[in-house]
Structure 1
Amino acid sequence: VERLKKIEILKSSRIRGIPCFGEFTNKWFEELKAGWRYSYRITIESMLRIYINPYFNDMLVDKITKSDILQFRIKLCDTKKPNGQHLSKGHINRIIKITGMIINEASDRFEFTTPYLGIKPLKTEKKDIEPFKLEEVELILNTVRADFVNYYTIRFFTGMRTGEVDGLKWKYVDFENRQILIRETWVKRRVEGTKTDSSRREITMSELVYQALKNQYEVTKQFEFVFATKQGTPRNYQNISSKVWYPLLRYLGLNKRRPYQTRHTAATLWLASGENPEWVARQMGHSNTEMLFRVYSRYVPNLTRQDGSAFENLLKDKLNLG
């Protein structure tokens, strides 16, 4: 009897033109992908192929229940990556969010009540930032391989993201006005526009950054990219991390930290030197100071109305790079 009921339900859905999840998802993806950045499209494509479609593929979209979604989340919590580690809660939340977006769109088009209601994301732990002290930065820059001194000087004292540094082109380095123009980023081995409007910005060069870029210009001026390989292509950040960054930290006896902490280091040094938080937020590519105070609040000694000079003075007084 139950089987006959299910067959009747399936027939009813088919008569109304209700598709299976996999069929609808393919259409949803094709309709939206033109408006996505390449890196985002690849991320969504991967989530669908590896996790979402294998679970929901043959289900009719209007028959998916809240319980189905929650059971899917439980399965994700038990899933391990190739390296043996479980998926992070943040990653699971992103997968569930995309699943919900697809189901919500289907509910609008086929006029059924979405089951994606009242599903709260898994609670994630806030990770403390681990910026380097100025003395540690000095130690790193005085010890790192000579061909990476300019690279890490830029990373530590501009707050640029990895993709922004690796994808930086000489045409966006304005020596005359001492600005670095953030217009593109290097993601998944290709150049893309910036992720958000606030990420598109102009970074003021300190004297240290200016000199580092001048030095780098003598090395790679024949190439399009500032930090180019001998072939003229951007460096592979994974290779840099495994062959230069982490071995250097081990050699110096410093705590293992992701290269992204160089960005946090720039922010904390600016704030510790007394720079105006609004100026710092602009340098970092934040739309306002909210995130700045949330992440770096304990590094803000006071508020000033300065524009970079305090940081400049700090570097002159404290650093002795040789």
Structure 2
Amino acid sequence: MKIKYPTGVEVHGKSLRISFTYKGKRVRETLGIPDTPKNRKLAGELRTAICYKIKTGAFDYSVEFPESKNCNEKSISNKNVTFGYVANKWVELKRIEVAVSTFEAYKSIVNVLFFFIDKNKMINLFNLEDILSVRNKMLTSPTIEPVNRVSKIGRSVSTVNNYMKILNCIFCFAAENKYIETNVLSSIKNLKKSRAVPDPITKEEFPRLLNATRNIQAKNMLIVSVYTGLRPGELCALAYEDIDFIERTITVKRNISNIGDFSLPKTPSSTDRVIHMLDPVYESLREQMSLTRMTSPEIVNVEMREYGKYREDSCTFVFQPSVVARNGLETKHYSPGGFNGIWGALIKRSGVRHRKSYQTRHTYACWMLSAGANPAFIATQMGHSSAKMIYDVYGAWMKENDKDQIAIMNRNAPHMPHPIESKVINS
């Protein structure tokens, strides 16, 4: 009967030998143990452990095989690796932890870091002064833009803090894998920034935006975005299969990224949340049905939170570029970038002060709060796990509407009963 060996395990003379790939080359190491069933299993487990260490950057040839003839040739001192090597290793290992869109964002940030940091510099040579200098350059130097776009001077504090967060992750990874003694970013705190204040569309501006729409679909898209609080990616991924016109509800099942990848909504509390349609939403979606309801569905792969897991959804998308396309393209759905384009055109034509399209989500929250809605209910509609986010983000804005709130309470509070005149009873 032929002996079956674990992957990468073979017999060499009277001893077992393992083979593995290191730095792009296949190497073999004799273990000096006899070929027995138990030793074959141990050799297979050792090889698996070595392959994992190589993948995570923790493998040191001189530690694992100090007597090997390959030791001097193959071993890399952990302190002789470049920043670029560690950064690329970190981002590649993140691939299995995060969504595709997040992974692409990480890669993009690492490439920006390479613009400010010499990726060929040994990572153990960086000190605190180097890192603070990098942060200052990020804040003050021109942005990196395509050829046809004008560069701006400096970046926002939020952007720089985000870049520094990724840089800190890279140096933490380096410290944990002994590339460096300590993380030089450990004492650096985030730059202070003002809390972002919601900038909702006013009730005077909204009709101007509606009048600036040039087709029914753009009008319906605007109304649904403002009266549901859907994120742009959730709005673009909305399908008729998610809508119950009898119960007047929308179940938020997916999101689409700027690169066209479908995934679950941003947070677990956002996923499968049920939005109750306000009248403007119901009427707009009924009107939109005449444009897109009878189009053929598209099968899309929705990335789940577990790595490598996908779900197939059959989607008849509510908003479809092909409805208004002049170039004959049969695109079945928008991306957030497409919605941003529609929004930008509406801003220009209406003369309304510029805002990002995400403000439609803030508009929903602000309008509903001023209408007297319960903050806890608004939180569930927007996909927040608690009302704390509503109070944190919209608390200051809510104070500005105290007079409206007083009027609502006066209007809705139970009326005081008329006093009952007491009668004197003579005994």
Give the TM-score normalised by the residue count of structure 2: 0.63
SS of structure 2 residue aligned to 1:227: coil
More helix by share: 1
Q: Render the CA deviation track for 1:18-48: whole Å, top value 9, x for unaligned.
A: 3222112222222221111111111110111
Match of 1:307 in 2: none
Tell me if structure 1 keeps the 8 A contact 2:288–2:318. yes
Shifted more, 251-260 versus 202-211: the winner is 251-260
Which one-letter code corresponds to 1:234 in the other structure? H
Matched, 1:268 2:366: yes
Match of 1:190 in 2: 261
Tell me if structure 1 keeps the 8 A contact 2:116–2:138. no
What's the offset of the Cα at 1:236? 4.9
What's the offset of the Cα at 1:174? 2.4
Matched, 1:287 2:385: yes
Matched, 1:108 2:176: yes
Over the aligned positions, Cα root-mean-square deviation in angstroms equals 2.5
Matched, 1:174 2:244: yes
Shifted more, 216-225 versus 36-45: the winner is 216-225
**Change in CA separation of 1:29 and 1:240 when aligned onto 2, cut-off 3 Å:** closer
Q: How many pairs are equivalent?
A: 291
Matched, 1:227 2:294: no
Where do 5+ consecutive residues of structure 1 fail to align? 1-13, 304-309, 311-322
Which one-letter code corresponds to 1:41 in the other structure? F
Tell me if structure 1 keeps the 8 A contact 2:84–2:114. no
Give me the whole-angstrom Cα distance separating, in 2, the residues matched to 1:246 and 1:27: 39
Which one-letter code corresponds to 2:291 in the other structure? V
Q: Pick from 151, 172, 186: which aligns with 1:84? A: 151
Match of 1:125 in 2: 194
- The 5 A counterparts of 1:1-322 are 16-18=77-79, 19-52=81-114, 55-81=117-143, 82=145, 83-85=150-152, 86-110=154-178, 112-147=181-216, 148-188=218-258, 189-200=260-271, 201-221=273-293, 222-223=295-296, 224-230=316-322, 231-242=330-341, 244-297=342-395, 298-299=397-398, 301=402, 302=405
Give me the whole-angstrom Cα distance separating, in 2, the residues matched to 1:77 and 1:103: 20
Give the TM-score normalised by the residue count of structure 1: 0.81
Tell me if structure 1 keeps the 8 A contact 2:232–2:339. no
Q: Sequence identity of aligned pairs in percent?
A: 28
What's the offset of the Cα at 1:266? 0.8
Higher relative contact order (CA 8 A, sep 6+): 1
What's the offset of the Cα at 1:208? 2.0
SS of structure 2 residue aligned to 1:203: strand
**Change in CA separation of 1:56 and 1:98 when aligned onto 2, cut-off 3 Å:** farther
Which one-letter code corresponds to 1:229 in the other structure? P
Give me the whole-angstrom Cα distance separating, in 1, the residues matched to 2:376 and 2:355: 27
Which one-letter code corresponds to 1:121 in the other structure? N
Tell me if structure 1 keeps the 8 A contact 2:94–2:103. no
Give me the whole-angstrom Cα distance separating, in 1, the residues matched to 2:113 and 2:184: 19
SS of structure 1 residue aligned to 2:117: helix
What's the offset of the Cα at 1:158? 0.2
What's the offset of the Cα at 1:240? 4.8
SS of structure 2 residue aligned to 1:134: coil
Which one-letter code corresponds to 2:109 in the other structure? M
**Change in CA separation of 1:29 and 1:253 when aligned onto 2, cut-off 3 Å:** closer
Where do 5+ consecutive residues of structure 2 fail to align? 1-74, 297-315, 323-329, 407-411, 413-427
Give me the whole-angstrom Cα distance separating, in 1, the residues matched to 2:210 and 2:165: 42
Which one-letter code corresponds to 1:122 in the other structure? L
Tell me if structure 2 keeps the 8 A contact 1:52–1:99. no
SS of structure 2 residue aligned to 1:27: helix
More strand by share: 2
Which one-letter code corresponds to 1:69 in the other structure? I
The structure having more radius of gyration, on CA atoms, is: 2
